[in-house]
Amino acid sequence: MGLFNWVFGKETQPEADVEEADIGFGRDFIRIPSRDFLGRSSKSPDGRYTLAWLDGGPNQSRHGRWILLDTRKIVAEGAMPRPNDGKVANNGVFIINDWGSIENLSGTLAAFTSQGTPLLSRTFSANLFNNGLSPDGRWAVCQTANAPHEDGNKLFVFDLCSKIEIGAFQPESGWASSYTFIPDEQRIVLGYQNGGRFAYTMDGRFLDRSAWLALGLQQGDLLIIERILSEAAGPRSPDLIALLLPAIDIALAAERYRDQRSQARAYRFRGTCLDATGDLQNAAAAYERAVSLDPKVGVKRRLDQIRKMLAR
């Protein structure tokens, strides 16, 4: 067997038909005793195809494998060192992330036809976070994790019909948990655990940035608050401050920001907003609270200036 076939799988004919009773489905798992197989699985949107995979583990303690079923019949199977995050389309086209080596920051996205024939493979100098596939099997995406390489922290977009990579960009809204493709408009909608859904063009233009910022303010997201403050050119308007102060209150009360460092950042932002309105007394109080929580929060110089102004 060639190296390409070992790493990326190969078109294979099932050794023998597998009886339906030999296949057991769980919520996200599948068991096929005749193949000595127990692994994770996912179904095509229409429920026809099932893709299953078994990770060989970081130390390759077992053989990594994948299996494709049409209804309950195995139609293709192959080998891959660390298959994960499988997705299968309604036409049986499927993709798998090969996690590769954690130590070497590497991973591979592999795509196949419904017969298990390789369509495309792309190896990255970064670990893989997740992927997505359109229901018709044409479009695929792959999100990489942070890495000291140009491949790191990017969403890569592929046209599987043309077998090419068509774009790569860093989603400003962060790593998504799901992907929806709108081919007619050449858009990808990134879905998030907090309920947000934001559209990008396939070359990375952020179409729903205003909606992303608005949701961040509603949820008291410190990263969004900091982003808006840093982008505000010149004097910050009263309207902007009126939007930011309630968002900061939400952040201060949020369970996810109960640590001292996050609280210090929130009080720093509060001080910045009050400072912009000329409310120096309350701005100083917010800065003092921030410094008491984190002496390195970055407001000591401005706090000293305000204290001198108030003393006069």
* pLDDT per position as a tens digit, 13-61: 444 455 554 677 777 889 998 888 999 999 999 999 999 999 988 776 7
Query: Hey, where are the domains in the chain?
Result: 3-207, 216-311
Which alpha helices (DSSP H) does the chain contain, by range? Answer: 3-8, 209-218, 222-231, 238-253, 260-277, 280-293, 300-311
* pLDDT per position as a tens digit, 117-161: 999 999 999 999 999 999 999 999 999 999 999 999 999 999 999
Rounded Cα gap, residues 301 and 235, in angstroms: 19
Rounded Cα gap, residues 39 and 16, in angstroms: 20
**Residue 109 or residue 12, greater confidence:** 109
* pLDDT over 50 at 74, yes or no: yes
* pLDDT per position as a tens digit, 218-253: 999 999 999 999 998 778 899 999 999 999 999 999
Rounded Cα gap, residues 194 and 174, in angstroms: 12
On whether the CB atoms of residues 140 and 167 are closer than 8 A, the answer is no
> 3-207, which class in CATH?
mainly beta
The alpha carbon of residue 102 and the mean position of all alpha carbons in its chain are separated, in whole angstroms, by: 18
Confidence band for 102, pLDDT divided at 50, 70 and 90: low
Q: pTM for the whole thing? A: 0.85
